Amino acid sequence: MARESKVRDPSLAGKGRDQLYWAERNMPVLMEIRRRFERERPLAGQLIAACLHVTKETGVLVRTLAAGGAQVVLVPSNPLSTQDEIAAALAEEGVYVYAWRGMSEREYYNAIGFAASFSPTITLDDGADLTVTIHKLKHGVRDRTVEYALETAGQTDADKLVEKIRGGTEETTTGVLRLRALKREGKLAYPIIAVNESYTKYLFDNRYGTGQSTWDGIMRATNMLVAGKVVVVAGYGWVGRGIALRARGLGARRVIVVEVNPVRALEALFDGFEVMPMDRAAEVGDIFITATGNIRVINLNHILKMRDGAVLANAGHFNVEIDTAALDRAAASKRSIRPYLDEYVLPSGKRVYLVGEGRLVNLVAAEGHPSEVMDMSFANQALAVEYLVKHELPPDVYKLPDELDEEVARLKLSTMGVELEEMTEEQRRYVSSWELGT
């Protein structure tokens, strides 16, 4: 199998470099890590297979890993999120890239097989499709997606493949849940650092990154005004919190949260939002956004209850939260009316509008989280990779050590020109007297 990059259009590389330049200007923490990596080359000899959204921010991470001495292979973590100009620019710089926007399911898993064919020492994942596929290979699972991956993975000896992997990282909530499930089953074959569990990741990326970029996607696709609307947010995890917060900031008339967890529901209520089941919210909402990680959070019954003109979008990792298959079957007709906006006419004559095919709206209909927030997420990724290279860990799911998490926060503050208060000697002594129990 020829190990050659495959991108939509190599001539887009110049445009991609401009985008990367812009992202680098807004990712000062990662750039600081890159300068240290250039001096120390801590990743020399590593082969990193990264399954991430192919965006300008990911490009800055990939360049940083390469500056640390690694050879990088990059494949997408969603069939519809690739920015083709970034894929072209990175391929030109010597990264092995197999990615284009709008891949079929088969092409998507061919890309994952391509990444495995390099026999990486480290894997980076966003959603765990690469890691899970490698584990399926190891455990002899042969389903449709694995068959697709095998078309490009070549004669991979699964045991050898896994033996060579020192460890991996996982970027997102859904991926961490999948990998913890593998661990519980006793099947996790190598250590994973759950980057999503760093404070400097989830408190910022999940909340403020998704909060802004989800609305960016909905607004680009619809150009609708949010002020005066009734917004329904399903799920009040960090992502849902961010989306609800920004809905309020954009002037939504009512923000309704749908939750299954009583503590989160209570929190939403005390944060000033209404809380009710989807059945009731369906009747009153103008814009519906799912952020639960679960399936069929908006089902056909909900959709049939919605008002004419309701807009539906998903911010969760997989396109399972809105039952688009049932909608396709039930609709009298469907047509695309703008990029990333489909109109469905229901048998009653009412119309509903689906943004970005129900796939993660911020990356499909916009550009994903802004660079400033990915700066921290990907600083965690870079430090996690370095940590895996420097430490032998047994297979488990780990959090990045708190010192490194704090280091990212310190660097971010310093690049923003913000100073911390420091404890006086007297305060230090006072606090350490507690630690001694005196």
The contact set with ligand ADE (CB under 6 A) reads 52-53, 55, 57-58, 363, 368-369, 374
In whole angstroms, the minimum distance from the beta carbon of 242 to ligand ADE comes to: 12
Q: Are 274 and 255 in contact (CB under 8 A)?
A: yes
Nearer to ligand ADE, 273 or 340 (CB): 340
In whole angstroms, the minimum distance from the beta carbon of 4 to ligand ADE comes to: 24
Q: What is the C-alpha separation between 4 and 228, in angstroms, rounded?
A: 51
| List of residues 6+ apart from 56 with CB closer than 8 A | 16, 19, 20, 22, 23, 83, 86, 367, 371
| List of residues 6+ apart from 366 with CB closer than 8 A | 213, 216, 217, 220
Beta bridge partners of 73: 49, 96
In whole angstroms, the minimum distance from the beta carbon of 271 to ligand ADE comes to: 23
Nearer to ligand ADE, 86 or 341 (CB): 86
Residue with nearest beta carbon to ligand ADE: 368
Nearer to ligand ADE, 56 or 135 (CB): 56
Q: What is the C-alpha separation between 133 and 54, in angstroms, rounded?
A: 19
Nearer to ligand ADE, 217 or 285 (CB): 217
In whole angstroms, the minimum distance from the beta carbon of 150 to ligand ADE comes to: 27
- The kind and range of the H/E element at 290 are strand 287-290
In whole angstroms, the minimum distance from the beta carbon of 426 to ligand ADE comes to: 44
Q: How would you classify the pairing of strands 47-51 and 6-7?
A: unpaired
Nearer to ligand ADE, 34 or 369 (CB): 369
In whole angstroms, the minimum distance from the beta carbon of 23 to ligand ADE comes to: 8
Beta bridge partners of 313: 289
Nearer to ligand ADE, 188 or 218 (CB): 218
Q: For residue 74, report the phi and psi dihedrals to the nearest 5 degrees.
A: -125, 125
Q: What is the C-alpha separation between 407 and 380, in angstroms, rounded?
A: 10
